[in-house]
A and B are shown apart, each in its own frame.
Chain A
Amino acid sequence: MLLVILPLIPFLGALVLIGMGEKVINMPFVASSIVLILGSWGLRGAFAGMPITYEIPLSGPFNPTFQADAVTAVFVVLAAFLWWAVSIYAPEYMKHEGRIRSFYICTLLTQSAVLGVFVAGDLFTLLLFFELMTVASFFWVIHRWNEEAIRAAYFYLFFSIVGGLFIALGLVFIRAAIGGVPTIGTGPATFLDPKFFPWGLALFLAGFGIKAGMVPLHLWLPHAHSVAPTPASALLSGLLIKVGAYGLIRTGELAGWGMELASLTRWLGPGLTILGTCTMLVGVTAALLQSDAKRLLAYHSVSQMGYIILGLGVGLFLGPAGGMGLMGSIYHIVNHALFKAALFLGVGVVYVGTKKTNLYELGGLWRSYPVTAILMFLAVLGITGTPGLNGYASKTMLHHGVSEAANSGLPLMIWVERLFNLVGVGTTASFTKLFYLMFLGKPKQEKITQGERWQFQVAMGFLALVMVTIGVRPNLFVDACAIPAAQALGMEGAAATAMGLSFWNIGDIMGMVITLALGITFCWVGLKTGLFHLSPPVWLTLEGLGKMAFCQLQTALASIEKLYLTLSTSLLSDLRARGNGLLLAIHRLDTSGTLTAGGRSLADISLSAGVLIGTLIFLILAYTYIDLGSYVRLPLSLMR
């Protein structure tokens, strides 16, 4: 019952808000507080390894079921916390954006849908909330209703819909393969018809991958996240894309965590690894080239999602020994949510005061925003993986996982490890750039309309607090959440894997420090040489390619239609002309009543008589000289 109530609370909040008319209260805060308390209290059993399930007994083909295991619990609490923190921030911020009421409603509905996805007990229910989430969050993106927002939102919606359709088709295939509705939280599926199972998984991968911003399906993400109002961006980047990751985790569950995969699904691990690596690389490269703070953050969301997908891939690849990858992913999901939200909120604070998000037009803001600068700095430290903050913990775990995979000797994995480190350098470089250009250096902007507000500070402060706590005591989370989650997914060896893990070893710390140093150097070089202003030709970027492909598709559709129109109209008009000509000819013969034959013209009655006598003669001759039987039979028999 709790599982239904959780998503219902924000939904009811939205209804209340709609019912209240023009009056606006901070309903998201209320709702997410309740959810946070209720969720962390109610789901404590799930953390302890006792899943909860619930079913709404509807008649017919759709019986929504709900479940909560440790994974769900982690995600629910994370979502509630993030919403709670952002809803402290939002009221003050949204005074600048306007339409605060619709924003609240949309926030609440999205929260409801997101919670629904996490507590869904079968894939139909999951898909239901997944689609609802798409629609609700669509209004976030389109909030400003200007041209850019509409384009981005449309793009977002289209991609999400495509993702939903992929999942739907995947459902059909999986349903055909396993002979029942695929459920969540019940471990790997046994498939009867192996033909469709891998296809179903691939479609799930694509569908959830779109939501997770997986390359090459990430094109919508930077636009959508940067154009939404900042609290929404924070939640989009912090949590909504994690829904995709959640989906990928559950897809992995269908294939089977912690076990040697069947030959048909063995590609899943390496596949995810490759996709994750690509995502990391593409995200970070693009982020380096951005000048807009929000876009930079958005591209980093892509890149960080790459880490998560990579972790999942490694976890699947290693099978029973893949605990580190899986736990690293889950850990990174949480961490990324925290620091990415904080970063977006910080940028939002600056935006409120300066109305600018272009990094090159900002500078020296630490004077005006001292607290924000400190909190942002913490978040930057977090995302770059500096020891002592939360990012370090999860990245270390992921790195362990990747190293283990590399130890398997597969060349692919060795390269993945190298690239993993390279991406760390890029991340550091781009965030050094962000922080330097924004808060350090010379002040460039003329005037600042608004300074810091306590709501902003409190919201970011809470996030930073959790970040630091995790950073200082990384094992806390691993023991409390990551291990139960991994075990709930079927990773039996997770506890044993984590037992041997020590975060504070010299090797890892040194590696991180070297990465940081390299990153800062790279950033310095980049800023000096103008490397970051490089804009690659359109066809080289995925985005450009995507756009071109889309345009091509549009033109192709248009030309198909044109072809059809020209063909059909010309064909029809031709036929019509012929028909009219024939009609005219018959009609003319009929009305004129004259027939000229051999110099003599027969008019009217003579013609009639001529026809009559001619018919008689024809009949007589037909029988006598032309064998009428075969003559008439021939055309008829041909038509049989």
Chain B
Amino acid sequence: MTAAIRANLPVFAVIAPLFVAFVLPTFARRTRLVEGLVIFVQAVGLWGTAYLARLVLAQGGLPIIYEVGGWSAPWGIELVVGNLGAFFLLVVAGVSLPVAIYASGNLAKEVEGARRRAWFYVLYLLLGGALAGMSITNDLFNVFVLVEVATLSCCGLVSASQEPSGAEAAFNYLILATLGSGMILGGIGFLYIVTGHLNMGFAARALATVWQDYPHVVWMAISFFMVGFGVKAAFFPLHIWLPDAHSVAPSPASAVLSGLAVKGYIICLMKVLFHVVGPELMQVFSLNRLLVLLGMVAILIGSILALGQDELKRRLAFSTVAQIGYIFLGMGLLNVKGMTGALFHIASHGIIKSALFLAAGAVITQTGKERVSELAGVGKKMPITMGVFTIASLGLVGIPLFSGFVGKWYMLLGSLGAGDYLAAAVIVAGSVLCAGYLFPVIRVAYFEPAPADDWQEPGVRQRLALILLAMGIFVLGTIPGPLLELALAAATDFLVFN
């Protein structure tokens, strides 16, 4: 029995949340049960992914390949838990568990009605399953389907709050994301036309030989992929939908949207670009330079826009745009260090941004203040929440001992290794700007004269979730251990064994 479970663990990681998601509506009225189930699934998922990651690490980077339905590669669908898959599974599971815990405490204040909340959890689990699937699937069309599932659940999560602006943001997001999906599908189509394969490995092998015959078609495919995934991943300048959507969603939703969902699309794009197209071809098309250039612009513009926001969650949303720029920049460097940095930044930004959004959500639900300038005194009244916010800010800025530093350090190494000093300067400038938009929050919260309002800390579960995330930030910054190893190995996979 255990052997069977172990053998099918990769598929369980995807199926389990999806299955529970379908079951949930039946107990829609019993909120406690729903919450317990969700947390249980996430906890089990975390355990399972940790086990998988250990397995992958123990195998020295050899992937665990699962053939769905027993059909082997060129025809059937493959699930490959390699270094990358294990890494991102771990991130997804690691972030979504605290967020689920937080949601169980805080959602009642943000979403009205038990049924609505149950549906929220359905979408939440669907998103989790889709992200897990995206991280391990090795089939292009499967990627499309999972991306669609994730997109739809994201839109649902955005529209979870009753406010009309939520619906509007969700609609905008939906339209754009669907356009993006269409383009992804188009890209898959072009690749399929050229190579005749949907399995990434086979497609890559075919592409290596045929691309010279159809350079324009290949470029079309890449362009479609770039725009399609770019809009979903909020890559500058396709980030337009993000600030609205992420700031209007309930805070747990914002946390997973900013922390995880966006990263899922980036992982898919990475797979397409590095596993299918391959670094050599990227260089031929100058794609790496494009990524670095746009990444730098994203860092600067995103940060500057964040500086101008007074609404806390909007500020965080723009910050996400800038941080996504980091990841793309790291990708574009085309060396192992830069890639490691980008991957690690996916993890650390996932945790940090979730912590920030959750803390912001806690502040907003407890005080009703949405603007940075109104937060005076929050630090005194809600020490734990603001403490976590502070730690997360330090992490995002990239102070050593906190997780953000590690990613940036590797990206800096990468950019200097690539001889790109401008990129290094922009990485550092982004840090400084990041301090510029996050420290005012802390300053106002702690050091400005406080009004006499009687605010209180959020409930135990929210605090627990926040502290878990803060610990995660600290642990990742000091002993990133297996996660960094996985990122390093995944980066090596991307760039060396191709």
Contact = CB atoms under 8 A, between A and B. Distances in A.
Q: CB atoms of A and B under 8 A apart anywhere in the complex? A: yes
Interface of A: 583, 586-587, 590, 604-605, 607-609, 611-613, 615-616, 619-620, 623-624, 628-629, 632-633, 635-636, 639-640
B237 interface: yes
B223 A636 contact: no
Contact of B240 (A611, A628, A640): A611
Given A612-B176, A639-B421, 10 more contacts: A608-B175, A608-B241, A609-B179, A611-B237, A611-B238, A616-B227, A624-B219, A628-B286, A628-B290, A635-B293
B304 interface: yes
B172 interface: yes
A632 B289 contact: yes
Contacts of B301: 586
Nearest to B235: A615
Contact of A615 (B175, B216, B230): B230
B305 A590 contact: yes
Contacts of A624: 216, 219
B388 interface: no
Contacts of B216: 623-624
B245 to A, nearest CB: 11
A628 B226 CA distance: 15
B227 A619 contact: yes
B307 A583 contact: yes
Contact of B289 (A604, A612, A636): A636
Interface in B153-182: 171-172, 175-176, 179-180
A623 B226 CA distance: 13
Contacts of B231: 612
A98 to B, nearest CB: 53
A624 B216 CA distance: 7
A613 B420 CA distance: 30
A586 to B, nearest CB: 6
B325 to A, nearest CB: 15
Contacts of B289: 629, 632-633, 636
Nearest to A604: B172
A257 to B, nearest CB: 65
A632 B179 contact: no
Nearest to A584: B308
B285 A620 contact: no
Interface in B223-264: 223-224, 226-227, 230-231, 237-238, 240-241
Contacts of A605: 171-172, 175-176
Interface in B283-316: 285-286, 289-290, 292-293, 301, 304-305, 307-308
B419 A640 contact: yes
Contacts of A583: 304, 307-308
Interface string B367-398: 00000000000000000000000000000000
B182 to A, nearest CB: 10
A628 B216 CA distance: 13
Interface of B: 171-172, 175-176, 179-180, 183, 216, 219-220, 222-224, 226-227, 230-231, 237-238, 240-241, 285-286, 289-290, 292-293, 301, 304-305, 307-308, 419-422
Given A608-B176, A609-B176, A623-B219, A640 B285 contact: no
A151 B360 CA distance: 64
A487 to B, nearest CB: 72
Contacts of A636: 289, 292-293, 420, 422
27 contacts: A583-B304, A583-B308, A586-B304, A590-B305, A590-B308, A604-B172, A605-B171, A605-B175, A608-B172, A608-B176, A608-B240, A609-B175, A611-B240, A612-B179, A612-B180, A612-B227, A612-B231, A613-B179, A616-B183, A620-B219, A628-B285, A629-B286, A629-B289, A632-B290, A633-B286, A635-B293, A640-B422
A638 B216 CA distance: 29
Contacts of A619: 222-223, 226-227
B98 to A, nearest CB: 31
Contacts of A608: 172, 175-176, 240-241
Which interface residue of A608, A609, A628, A632 has the most chain B CB atoms within 10 A? A608
A237 B105 CA distance: 90
Nearest to A618: B223
Nearest to A624: B216
B417 to A, nearest CB: 14
B240 A620 contact: no
Given A609-B179, A633-B286, A615 B240 contact: no
Nearest to A614: B237
A619 to B, nearest CB: 4
Q: Which 4 A-B pairs have the closest CB atoms?
A: A619-B223, A629-B286, A632-B289, A608-B240
Given A615-B238, A616-B223, A632-B289, A639 B176 contact: no
A632 B286 CA distance: 8
B180 to A, nearest CB: 7
B293 A607 contact: no
Contact of A612 (B219, B238, B420): B238
A629 B281 CA distance: 12
B285 A623 contact: yes
B223 A640 contact: no
B227 A615 contact: yes
A101 B71 CA distance: 110
Contact of B237 (A587, A615, A623, A633): A615
A633 B226 CA distance: 19
B441 to A, nearest CB: 18
B235 to A, nearest CB: 9
Contacts of A635: 293
B161 to A, nearest CB: 19
Contacts of A633: 286, 289
Contacts of B421: 639-640
A242 to B, nearest CB: 63
Contacts of B420: 636
Contacts of A628: 285-286, 290
A377 to B, nearest CB: 79
A619 B179 CA distance: 16
B292 to A, nearest CB: 8
Which interface residue of B176, B289, B292, B301 has the most chain A CB atoms within 10 A? B289
Contacts of B179: 609, 612-613
A159 to B, nearest CB: 50
Which interface residue of A612, A613, A639 has the most chain B CB atoms within 10 A? A612
B294 to A, nearest CB: 10
A619 B176 CA distance: 18
A619 B227 CA distance: 9
Contacts of B226: 619
Contacts of B180: 612
Contacts of B237: 611, 615
Contacts of B219: 620, 623-624
Given A608-B176, A624-B216, A640-B419, A587 B308 contact: yes
Given A616-B223, A620-B219, A607 B238 contact: no
A583 to B, nearest CB: 6
Nearest to A627: B286
Given A583-B308, A632-B293, A636-B293, A620 B286 contact: no
A587 B305 contact: yes
Contacts of A612: 176, 179-180, 227, 231, 238
B475 to A, nearest CB: 36
Nearest to B220: A620
A604 B171 CA distance: 11
Contacts of B293: 632, 635-636
Contacts of A587: 305, 308
B76 to A, nearest CB: 32
Contacts of A632: 286, 289-290, 293
Which interface residue of B220, B223, B301 has the most chain A CB atoms within 10 A? B223
A586 B305 CA distance: 7
Contacts of A611: 237-238, 240
A352 B285 CA distance: 102
Contacts of A616: 183, 223-224, 227
